Amino acid sequence: MAFLLRRLAFYLAAFLVAATINFFLPRLMPGDPIQIMFASAGSELSLENLNALKLTFGFIDAPLHEQYFAYLQSVFTGDLGRSIKYFPLPVTELLGRALVWTVGLMGIATVIAFTLGSLLGVFAAWRRGRLIDSVISLTAIFSSSVPAVVVSLIMLFVFGYTLGWFPNGYAADPLIDPAWNWEYISSVLYHGTLPMLTLVFVLMGGFAVTMRNNMINLLGEDYIVMARAKGLSDNNVMLWYAARNALLPTVSSLAIAIGTVLGGSLVTEVVFNYPGLGNTLYQAIIARDYPVIQGQLLIMTAAMLISNFVVDLSYVLLDPRLKKA
């Protein structure tokens, strides 16, 4: 319990850091921060609306520390301001809508990539030095070193434009009304396949390399020799003695990988014109819609912290030693 509480306190502090960066960044830039933040608003926003927006970001006639607390107050009450491009849509609503798509796409891709990558790593380590190890290692090196944007563009070119197997963009056929029926759901699945495969390829390599290295370091341990001496089958030793223990450090690398996943998913969404966080953010960058750009940092930090916490929880389950601590 103490372990989890300590982690929770730490995550709260980390979130505070992200909020603090958001607060100070416009104020550190040369020039007038209000000018910078709301320049794109032009004459579209009435004075009253603009003042309300300034208040959200702590631009009040008061000393800096009071401005800071005014901003923190809006952040912790869930008010991230309103989008300038889509005024008066609140940033939380805009990003919340997009988050659903990203979490769906990313969640499925991460689970598949983690399972597939780890299994490949296990096989590569088990058959170390053989042909299968060579093929898996080389693929893994390639997959973990090529930028997500490059993989996305090549996948789109090959399977989208040249072969025409998959659609070139959007989350679903725009002619079909969103509803809980098979027509719409199948369209969503069909449109999501290519971006998902791209993400799986981008993420898989890292998991495979980590798992392979962990496994190899474990294979010399006494309990592996013991399991073999007992005459257990090869698969049994590989999966239930070696892989099970090698999984522990991989899970902690999963927590760090989630940050990479977010990054990779951002770019993939832009390439495939997928309506998730990445694309929303891309549109915001083009329009210099600062409240949205700042809001995404907070939402993504929150997403990262929550997934880290889930990993912490699973760590306690996987490693009984931590339960006592």
301 is a site residue for other proteins (CB under 8 A): yes
Binding-residue total with other proteins (CB under 8 A): 65
Asked if residues 38 and 84 have their Cβ atoms less than 8 Å apart, the reply is: yes
Range 104-109 contact pairs with CB under 8 angstroms and sequence separation of 24 or more: 104/192, 105/192, 105/195, 105/196, 105/199, 105/265, 105/269, 105/274, 105/276, 106/199, 106/261, 106/262, 106/265, 108/192, 108/196, 109/196, 109/199, 109/200, 109/203, 109/261, 109/265
Binding track over 5-44 against other proteins, x by CB under 8 A:
-----xx-xx--xx--xx--xx--x------x--------
Binder to other proteins among 55, 72, 103, 146 (CB under 8 A)? 146
Q: 241 to 260, contacts with other proteins by CB under 8 A?
A: 256, 258-259
3 vs 10, which CB is nearer to other proteins? 10
282 is a site residue for other proteins (CB under 8 A): yes
Binder to other proteins among 267, 272, 275, 312 (CB under 8 A)? 267
Find where tokens 């997403």 sit.
303
Neighbouring residues of 252: CB distance < 8 A, sequence distance ≥ 6: 311, 315
Q: Is residue 276 packed enough to be buried (19+ CB in 10 Å), middle (13-18) or exposed (0-12)?
A: buried
Stretch that binds other proteins, among 92-100, 107-115, 176-184, 267-275 (CB under 8 A): 267-275
Look at residues 22, 238, 248, 273 and name the one whose alpha carbon lies nearest to residue 160.
Answer: 273
Q: How far is the CB of 209 from other proteins (least distance, A)?
A: 8
Cα distances (Å, whole numbers) of residue 219 to 227, 228, 239: 11, 11, 12
Binder to other proteins among 266, 275, 276, 291 (CB under 8 A)? 266
Q: How far is the CB of 217 from other proteins (least distance, A)?
A: 7
Which structure tokens are listed for 231?
Answer: 């005459």
To the nearest 10°, report the CA torsion of 253, 254, 260, 266.
180
Binder to other proteins among 110, 118, 137, 198 (CB under 8 A)? 137
Binder to other proteins among 108, 297, 316, 318 (CB under 8 A)? 297
Reported residue count of the chain is: 325
168 vs 185, which CB is nearer to other proteins? 168
Q: How far is the CB of 128 from other proteins (least distance, A)?
A: 7
187 is a site residue for other proteins (CB under 8 A): no
128 is a site residue for other proteins (CB under 8 A): yes
194 vs 258, which CB is nearer to other proteins? 258
Which structure tokens are listed for 114?
Answer: 């983690």
Cα distances (Å, whole numbers) of residue 112 to 79, 99, 119, 270, 275: 35, 20, 11, 21, 21
| Chain contacts with other proteins (rule: CB under 8 A) | 10-11, 13-14, 17-18, 21-22, 25-26, 29, 36, 128-129, 131, 133-135, 137-138, 141-142, 144-150, 153-154, 156-157, 160-161, 168, 212-213, 216-217, 220, 256, 258-259, 262-263, 266-267, 270-271, 281-282, 285-286, 288, 290, 293-294, 296-297, 300-301, 304-305, 308
